[in-house]
Amino acid sequence: MTLCDSSYPRKLAFHYLQDLQKEFERLDNSLVEKITRPYSFVKFDGVIGSIRKQYIDTRTQANLSKLNANTKKDSEIITEHISEILQRKRNSEISERLPATTPRTASPVWGSPLLEVIALKWTPITAIVAVAAILLWASLVLTDNFII
């Protein structure tokens, strides 16, 4: 954990902590494992101080290059995501246009004009015959003299 001004860049603070971690990993692990209290870090004060000096001024070339490298990575990631989104949109537009441009093939039987003429001619006749059959059946069922 590190404490710094609110105006200090977060990414630079994380780089500071990463550099400290690398330094401690380079040291003898047995020394680091023996540390049980905070004042035991006095032995490592020189290492911590030298790394801290590198990060005091945020305008140094090394710190600016670290910030710019991260910014460049972020912009590349954003550009990549936007290009993926645009590619998906293009693909969806193309797939939407394909069914509209290719005519649907109708069945030759159900889409024929002859079938339409037959339906228009015989539908009313069929409806009248069906209603007459239902009325005849109802009149026979409702009469008491009906014998099967």
Percentage above 70 pLDDT, the chain = 71
pLDDT tens, 25-39? 777 677 666 766 666
Domain-embedded: residue 119: yes
pLDDT attached to residue 41: 63
Domain-embedded: residue 73: no
pLDDT tens, 112-121? 888 888 888 9
Q: Which residue has the tokens 């000096």?
A: 53
Phi and psi based region of residue 56 (left: phi greater than 0; alpha: psi -120 to 50; beta: remaining): alpha
pLDDT tens, 51-87? 777 777 666 767 667 766 766 777 778 888 888 998 9
Distance CA 59, CA 19 (A): 18
Number of domain units in the chain: 1
Residues 43/31, Cβ–Cβ less than 8 Å: yes
Distance CA 132, CA 136 (A): 6
pLDDT attached to residue 127: 95
Domain-embedded: residue 132: yes
Domain range enclosing 128: 111-148
Average pLDDT of the segment spanning 83-92: 88
Domain-embedded: residue 127: yes
